[in-house]
Every structure is written in structure tokens, then in C-alpha cells.
Amino acid sequence: MAESEKVIRRAMRAGHRPRSMVLAQNWRPSLDDLVADVQAAGAPVFTGPIDLIESITGFHVHRGAIAAMHRPELPPVAQVLENARRVVVLENIVDHTNVGAIFRSVAGIGADAVLVTPRCADPFYRRAVRVSMGTVFQVPWTRIDPWPGGMKQVQDAGFQVAALALGPGAVSLDEFAASAPEKVALVLGTEGDGLSRVTLEHADRAVTIPMAGGVDSLNVAAAAAVAMWALRV
Ligand SMILES: C[S@@+](CC[C@H](N)C(=O)[O-])C[C@H]1O[C@@H](n2cnc3c(N)ncnc32)[C@H](O)[C@@H]1O
């Protein structure tokens, strides 16, 4: 589901196909071109008072426009890794807000792609789409299954797998970034327990963002942004 004019436009620019669009009538006059594009793609456009629309959806429709998009077939992992140098792997991150925020940072900081493990929340879920500002439609991503079994494919594609983790044995992000390899896959762990033991065992490096102020860890989306920025190419 793509919510708001901006997100719908971003999805369509990235080549995604609408199934239908619902538009509050007060927004209709300023969106002639978007309506024409959606209709040209063969999708119906429904217009009505915002109260009626929200009584149908059951939630507040952000900026009066929402479109159902066709769910694309996800590309193979090899295709997503091709030509990439910075890849982010989301291991079982279950909160749609965190998933959306990480995609927004990936797009904004300029990392190349995202791999999501089988139990990770769906990046195309409405809340994730909205928090990502629609970047889930433009950032190359796919599911990597199995995981952590699939880590070997990432390593075989030339990536050094860096597990973002706390604890002893991890090199600091500053030190890692100072001589970062050409291709890095940053693996981020789940909100509660962090990365699995098997992932930590098989990763090439464990990398930590040194903490201060008696705080033990960052929110996973904040950690992703800090690490991507430090490793940007
Ligand atoms: C909220 S943390 C999970 C904390 C968990 N108790 C642990 O021990 O890993 C969620 C994820 O964010 C990343 N993260 C958060 N703070 C970090 C830090 N200071 N250094 C490296 N990674 C961090 C890690 O990938 C972690 O798995």
C-alpha cells in the first residue's frame, strides 16, 4: 500500500504498477497528472469525501491519497548483490517502523541494497512503506532464505560480512571504517536479543559502535544509519 501523493509517485517512478487508487475529493484538483498516470496504468481511481474514505480504510489516510500496488516478484539474491558495494542485511527485525526507517537511511545515505531474512517484517507492509517515505519501492531488496545459511552466498559474492554487535571481540566502527573492504554486508540484529549466535559465528567480523552515557545499545535503525554513514563510498 502506497500512502500519500509523494509515495505513490515514488512507487510509480520506480516502475511499480498500481491496482487502484483512492483520493479525497479536496486533493483531486491538484493531482490531475497523478490520476492520469494511474488510469493510464489501467487502475481505477475512486474519489470521495475523506470521512467516507477513512470509514472504509479504518485508519487516517495520510494526505488524502492511498494506492494499492501490485506486489512485485522479488529478484534473486545474486541480482541484488550484483554491482553492489554496501548491502544491509536485516536479521529478523520485526518492527515495521524500524524496517521502514532503515530503508529510508539506505536510500538517503546511498547504500546499494537490502537483504531481509525469512522472519523479518515485510518492507511492503503499509506502515513500513510510509516510514520509509516510499523508498522500499526504489531500493533493490529481496529475501535471503535460508538464513544464516545464505550468508555463504554473500561471502562468495565478495562481501565481507560485518555483524553489527555489542560485546567483547568486536572491532570499533571507526577502526573498521578506516580500512573498510571494497564490499561490505552489514548485518543488523533483532530489537530484543540482537544477532543470533550462528550469525555471529559465521560473520567475518563483529563491529561495534562504541557507546557512552551508560546506554548499552542504539535503536537498530539508528545503528544502521551510523554504520552506513561511516562506511559510505
Ligand atoms: C537494540 S539492538 C539489540 C541489543 C541486544 N540486546 C544485543 O545484545 O545485541 C538491535 C541491533 O542494533 C545493532 N546495534 C545497536 N547498537 C549497536 C552498537 N552500539 N554497536 C553495534 N551494533 C549495534 C545490532 O545489530 C543489534 O543487534
Q: Which of 19-28, 58-67, 82-91 has the highest mean pLDDT?
A: 82-91
| Mean pLDDT of the 194-222 span | 97
| Top mutation candidate among 164, 187, 196 for ligand 1, by most atoms within 8 Å of CB | 164
Q: How confident is the model at residue 64 (pLDDT cuts 50, 70, 90)?
A: confident
End-to-end CA gap in the chain: 32
C-alpha cell at 23: 483520493
* Alpha-carbon dihedral 14, 117, 104, 79, rounded to 10 degrees: -40
Q: Is 144 in the pocket of ligand 1 (CB under 6 A)?
A: no
CB 211 near ligand 1, within 6 Å? yes
Contact assessment for residue 206 and residue 167, using Cβ atoms and an 8 Å cutoff:
yes
Whether the pLDDT of residue 219 is over 90: the answer is yes
Helices of type H across the chain: 5-13, 32-40, 50-57, 77-81, 96-109, 126-131, 151-156, 173-178, 197-202, 220-230
Report residue 81 as a C-alpha cell. 548483490
Q: What is the pLDDT of residues 113-159, one digit of tens each?
A: 999 999 999 999 999 999 999 999 999 999 999 999 999 999 999 99
Whether the CB of 217 sits within 6 Å of ligand 1 = yes
- pLDDT tens readout for residues 162-187: 999 998 889 999 999 999 999 999 99
pLDDT of residue 60: 85
The mean pLDDT value for 220-232 works out to 98
Q: Which DSSP category does 4 fall into?
A: S
User: Which residues fall within 8 angstroms of residue 194, CB to CB, at 6 or more apart?
Assistant: 165, 166, 217
Domains, the chain, with CATH or none: 2-69 (3.30.1330.30), 77-230 (3.40.1280.10)
Cα(208) to ligand 1 centroid in Å equals 8
Higher pLDDT, 217 or 29: 217
Q: What's the CA-to-centroid distance between 217 and ligand 1, angstroms?
A: 5
Which numbered atom of ligand 1 lies nearest the CA of 210?
A: 19
Question: Is any atom of ligand 1 closer than 6 Å to the C-beta of 194?
Answer: yes
